């Protein structure tokens, strides 16, 4: 199923060049460049849904089972490098449910499967071990990822140059 893109991706470098005032006030923030690029969509954007978990992906699946409607799931996995929070089945689920992207402050697995999905994925790295299944975590809460406070319903813009978070939707 081909997902309708809700808006054209903006070039992050151009956004930074033309929005110095928003960068100065913190209404536009640049995430630290710590993420690897996965998935078919190298550039993606959309409203953010936040999730805070640690080595447990039950809530990740719960959110990805809902209609994405062009949103981006941002997962604060505590930066854990001990297991994966997203795998190939979840990448396919995200694509099928209309999510435009997933950003994981942690690991993914099934890289070849995720790279075949028509979504954008950013993660610290890959890890073959699956996560716990306890259902512990918090949805729709402010999270700290890559040196940046990120809130539910803010906007994320990602491309090959980096990832931006904005308090509101941007246009050129």
| Tens-place pLDDT, residues 28-70 | 999 999 999 999 999 999 999 999 999 999 999 999 999 999 9
Is residue 27 annotated as involved in ligand binding? no
Is residue 19 annotated as involved in ligand binding? no
- How far apart are alpha carbons 99 and 152 in whole angstroms? 15
In this prediction, residue 172 has a pLDDT band, given cuts at 50, 70 and 90, of: low
Is residue 76 annotated as involved in ligand binding? no
Q: Which residues of 133-146 are buried (b: 16+ CB within 10 A; e: fewer)?
A: eeeebeeeeebebb
Cα end-to-end distance, the chain, whole Å: 30
The pLDDT tens digits of the residues spanning 111-167 come to 999 999 999 999 999 999 999 999 999 999 999 999 999 999 999 999 999 999 999
Domain spans in the chain, listed from the N-terminal domain onward: 12-165
Contact between 115 and 89 (Cβ < 8 Å)? no
Is residue 71 annotated as involved in ligand binding? no
Handedness of CA 146, 152, 157, 160 (dihedral sign): positive
What kind of architecture, by CATH, is found in domain 12-165? 3-Layer(bba) Sandwich (3.50)
What radius of gyration do the chain's Cα atoms show?
Answer: 15
Is residue 89 annotated as involved in ligand binding? yes
pLDDT score, position 47: 98
Is residue 88 annotated as involved in ligand binding? yes
Here the tokens at position 143 are: 């999270």
């Amino acid at each position: 199923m081909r997902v309708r893109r809700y808006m054209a991706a903006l070039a992050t470098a151009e956004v930074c060049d033309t929005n110095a005032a928003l960068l100065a006030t913190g209404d536009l923030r640049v995430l630290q460049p710590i993420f690897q690029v996965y998935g078919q969509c190298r550039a993606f954007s959309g409203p953010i849904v936040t999730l805070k978990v640690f080595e447990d992906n039950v809530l990740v699946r719960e959110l990805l089972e809902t209609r994405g409607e062009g949103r981006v799931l941002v997962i604060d996995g505590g930066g854990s490098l001990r297991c994966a929070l997203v795998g190939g089945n979840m990448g396919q689920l995200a694509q099928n449910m209309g999510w435009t992207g997933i950003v994981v402050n942690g690991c993914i697995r099934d890289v070849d499967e995720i790279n075949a999905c028509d979504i954008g994925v950013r993660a610290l790295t890959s890890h073959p071990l699956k996560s716990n299944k306890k259902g512990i975590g918090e949805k729709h809460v402010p999270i700290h990822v890559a040196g940046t406070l990120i809130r539910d319903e803010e906007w994320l813009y990602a491309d090959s140059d980096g990832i931006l978070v904005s308090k509101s939707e941007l246009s050129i």
